[in-house]
Structures are given as C-alpha cells and as structure tokens.
Amino acid sequence: MRQVKPNQREQVLMRLADHLGRARGSHPLRVAIDGPDAAGKTRLADDLAHLLGQQQDVIRLSVDRFHRPAAVRRRRGSLSAEGYYLDSFDHDIIIDSVLRPLGPGGDGHYLPAAYDHRADEPVPPTYQRAAAHAILLFDGVFLLRPELREHWDVALYLHVAPEVTLRRALERDLDLFGSAAAVEQRYRGRYLPGQELYRAEARPLDRADIVLDMGDPLNPTVLRWAADAS
C-alpha cells in the first residue's frame, strides 16, 4: 500500500508536536498560541491537541474564557482600539489561576474558565488538577503582552497580514455582527488597530519562539524557529 506523504500543514504540526513532547519538564508545559484575529489559532491548537493527546495529557484553554464584563470591555467605546487591547481580558486571573499554578512550584490546580462573554456573566469556579507532565495549549490574542510574557514556556505566534484578517472576518463573523459593513467597521475601528498597538508594545514576532506565516492555513510557513526551539 502506497504511503501518502504528509502535506505542509501536517509536517508543521508533527514538528511542533515533537518539539513540545520533548520540551516537558518538572511542571506542565505552558504553551501560548498567539496571533491576530482570524489567524487560525483555534484550529491549529485543536489539531495540535489531537496529535499530542494520543501520547500524553493535554489541557486545552482559550483566552476567550477569561473575558472581562462587557461594561469594562466597552468603557472606552465599542470601537476603541485601546479598549480592545487594554480592557478585553482579565490577565490577573489568567496568571493567578492558570499560569502560576501550572508553573514552577505551582500546585497544579487551575481554573479552566472564568467568564462567559456571550452571556456576560461569571462562570462558577471549578478548579481542575493537571498532571505533572501535561501540556497546556492556550490560544488567544495578546498573549505575549508584558504581563503574560514571562509565564509561557513556549510561545508560538501565527502571523497573517491585516487584509487577510479582514477578509476572513467578513466570512467568519458575518452572522455575529449582522452585515459586512458592521464587520468591516468593527475590524477597522477596533480589532486591527488594537493589534497594531499590541505589536508596537509587545513585539510578538520578535519575542515568540516560533513564528508561522498562516496566510495559507493549509500551507503554513515557518518564518522563525528559535535555536532553543529546534
């Protein structure tokens, strides 16, 4: 039977899984999967979780489970780029209830979710216990901001150009916002400039261990793979 050669995406996923599998230490490996909106973070993290989960324990979390209340997120205005970057997520809870407990000297008890942003209400806290050699795959925007940067053991950044983000959003978020005009207004007014603020302050493309160009999600290109992440 003829073997089918893995495609580019499969090759990158296998390389990532191999690296993360070898990078485990005395505490759960905390992996950030960062990138702008519509870069493909969730799908890549899910695919990687499936691949890794065949061999070891995987914790799959998202920054979307740690929103702040709508009144806080929108206090600078619904189209504020500063509000998107500065007010969207509760980084203190992420650090205190996820990243520190899973880090060196932590007790392994972590909070998988804190807030339901669709219902705009807190999620009852239900802590879980991580296996000592688990791998945390945490996806979301702004994960390499100064408050969070030191708490990741490995950081991936998925790069797409702003026009690609907008093009994908016009397909993905049409039902959410109701019209193409509303999607474009939200992205051009809030999300894209919010990402510009983030890149200017945090320089995620420079600080991430691994940078992938996701302009074609089926054929990701490695832009940088740090020497210590080989």
Alpha-carbon distance values, 41 to 9, 59, 220 (Å): 13, 15, 12
- Is the domain spanning 8-220 CATH 3.40.1360.10? The answer is no
| Dist. CA 223–CA 29, nearest whole Å | 23
More reliable by pLDDT, 11 or 4: 11
Between CA 186 and CA 183 the distance in angstroms is 5
User: What's the confidence (pLDDT) of residue 5?
Assistant: 62
pLDDT of residue 229: 54
Q: What six digits make up the tokens of 83? A: 């509000």
Q: What is the pLDDT of residue 226?
A: 86
Overall average pLDDT of the 111-127 stretch = 97
Percentage of the chain lying above the pLDDT 90 cut:
91
Among 41, 40, 42, 16, residue whose Cα is nearest residue 29: 16
Which of the four pLDDT bands, split at 50, 70 and 90, describes residue 26? confident
